[in-house]
Chains A and B, each alone.
Chain A
Amino acid sequence: MTTLPSFLRRHDLLAFAILAALIVIVLPMTLDIFRLNLVGKYLTYAFVAVGLVLCWGMGGILSLGQGVFFGLGGYAMAMFLKLEASSPEATAIQSTPGIPDFMDWNQLTELPAFWIPFQSFTFTLFAIVALPAVLSGLIGYAMFTRRVSGVYFAIITQAIAAIATILIIGQQGYTGGVNGITDLRTLLGWDIRSDSARYTFYFINAALLLGVLFGALYVQRSRLGRLMTAVRTSEDRVRFSGYSVAHIKVFVFCFAAVLSSIGGAMFTLQVGFMSPTLVGVVPSIEMVIYCAVGGRLSVFGAVYGTLLVNWLKTSLSESFPELWLFGLGGIFIAIVMFFPFGLAGLYTSAKDRLFRKRAVEPSAGSESSPGKTPSTSTTATSGTTSTTGLDAKVSAT
């Protein structure tokens, strides 16, 4: 315990242990590979939701275009896998062997230049991190230095998601169009459709997610995390304390984008395709709902929120396919109105009720512990009483 990094607290460690036990031990032991693969797919959305906790929950930046970044990572991985699946031998029946099948169907006779670097696995891994960082950096810089925020930012990101979908569908020969990039077979010669590969990807995904949670928790508990809370309550004060608010926002938006992209790449590996249906407005908004259900301020909550909503989606949409979207909308409205802090908020209030002592602490802290030095005081659970940003959320959607 003594080696615990300073930003982690005991209950964080417990939350880590519980989540790790659930996704690494309990689920793999109780679910068959089909269901486990499904859980793995849901967990790739959790990367986006964790990013949104930082970006939206902490930073107050509601992005309705996270699907774009999810898609960037997903497409980068899919392009690599597709090229591997399109060796001249495997595509000998095409009029131009050696290029992906959908290009051949669209009368392309050679590989487009931007596909060529994706023949390298190293480049692909690099691109999965770099592409979303650059794109979100450009978008963020352009908007935040002009002080675009709130609803306007949300609308613009939503428009970007719409543009991305239209672009992908329109450029069928280069992107696979509405079907996406399908029929992916091997990764460096290893069959990704085999059960062993699916198990492996599931565990890689779980490990990555835990690592990402660790990183997100670090950001949340750093001075930068407190700054983001500060920006939400008093942006001018932050600015006139000598910070560049725009830079803070650009960073957190980039961070969330990179997390989404990693999730997208893992999605492609586990599900075996990538398509524009995961990029557009609807999936982007769904991802915001996962985050809201889990609790906007809790990175762990985001993971549970994602799992819960997707489990509901799978079980309900099997029986009531038409009604599901209304159900999803209903969940979102209910969360916003009655549980603004989602599952994490429910958990906190339940815990407080169990341990009355803790519930008294925050309000009595000043009187009961005079002279307490700042070094011994822990950072308060910032923002648990704040509802700022929520109003913006309601009007934005």
Chain B
Amino acid sequence: MSIEHNTSCVLAIEGLTVSFDGFRAVDDLDLYVDEREIHVVIGPNGAGKTTLLDLICGKTRASAGSIRFRNHELTKLNENRIVHRGVGRKFQNPSIYDDLTVVENLELSFPRGKSVFGSLFFQRDNDVVERIDEVAEMVFLEDHLTSQAGLLSHGQKQWLEIGMLLIQNPELLMLDEPVAGMSMAERAKTADLLNRITDNRSVLVVEHDMKFVEDIADRVTVMHQGAKLAEGSMSDIQANPKVVEVYLGQ
């Protein structure tokens, strides 16, 4: 954990531990996310992958350890402050606003007027409209702008949520199983989308679909029982006997 290492990476997690009634869901974990990399976390069910994302975005409080984002400690910040720092998070089940249209969903995530009075006097000006159009096109929803979000297909909901994060322009984007429930064609489009958006940001992904992981991952971390089992490129991981034993299978 040298100083140089900390400054060169976007996210530095060190000694992170959280226990629920004595059960250590995440146990003394170290993890670093570099600039513009797609870092994928894999592992069997219950390995602590989602908990890890919960800890980073502030949904769950750490028992010990540190999470530094661009050298700012996140473990003590409120959820909305963490978002303002530049961390965006997508949930496992698409969480979008079913009652609102696609445009309104995206607009609520537009990074301006996030206070109560800012929202009260928010105006939908040209900047907002242009940005919404741009992001909607990125996430393949340009023809569905006025649809009610609840009526979209499952895959489109996943994309919409990714779009809602992109419009915030986060420096670190965290995605929890972004292709769950998607068709093969949709998975390919999503992989393509993720590869395009890393021009100016880092992405941390939790995923089970190994084909998809292969398509996107710059680096893979395997978690097992709350701890790091292995880390490296996809081919390293696939060749690692420990990983094969606990996760990938024979």
Spell out A's residues near B (CB within 8 Å): 219, 222-224, 226-227, 229-230, 232-234, 236-244, 247-248, 250-251, 362-363, 365-366, 369-375, 377, 379-380, 382-383, 385-386
Contacts and interface: CB of A to CB of B under 8 A. Distances in A.
B115 A380 contact: no
Contacts, number: 132
A223 B133 contact: no
A236 B59 contact: yes
B83 to A, nearest CB: 4
9 contacts: A229-B99, A230-B97, A234-B97, A237-B91, A237-B161, A242-B80, A365-B147, A377-B145, A380-B104
Contacts of A227: 108, 119
A369 B95 contact: no
A237 B95 contact: yes
A135 B180 CA distance: 46
Contact of A241 (B98, B99, B168): B168
Contact of A236 (B95, B111, B133): B95
Contacts of A233: 97-99
A377 B133 CA distance: 13
Contacts of B161: 237
A388 to B, nearest CB: 8
B210 interface: no
B124 A382 contact: no
B80 A243 contact: yes
B84 interface: yes
A239 B147 CA distance: 23
B94 to A, nearest CB: 9
B168 A222 contact: no
B96 A237 contact: yes
Interface in B46-87: 57, 59, 78-80, 83-84
Contacts of B116: 224, 244, 247-248, 250-251
Nearest to A375: B129
Contacts of A377: 101, 103, 145-146
A385 B57 CA distance: 31
B237 interface: no
Contact of B109 (A229, A241, A372, A375): A241
A277 to B, nearest CB: 34
A250 B116 CA distance: 9
A234 B150 CA distance: 12
B57 A370 contact: no
A293 B107 CA distance: 32
Most buried by B among A222, A234, A236, A363: A234
B119 A224 contact: yes
B108 A366 contact: no
Contact of B104 (A234, A373, A379): A379
Contacts of B143: 366, 370-371
Contact of A240 (B89, B144, B145, B147): B89
B122 A223 contact: yes
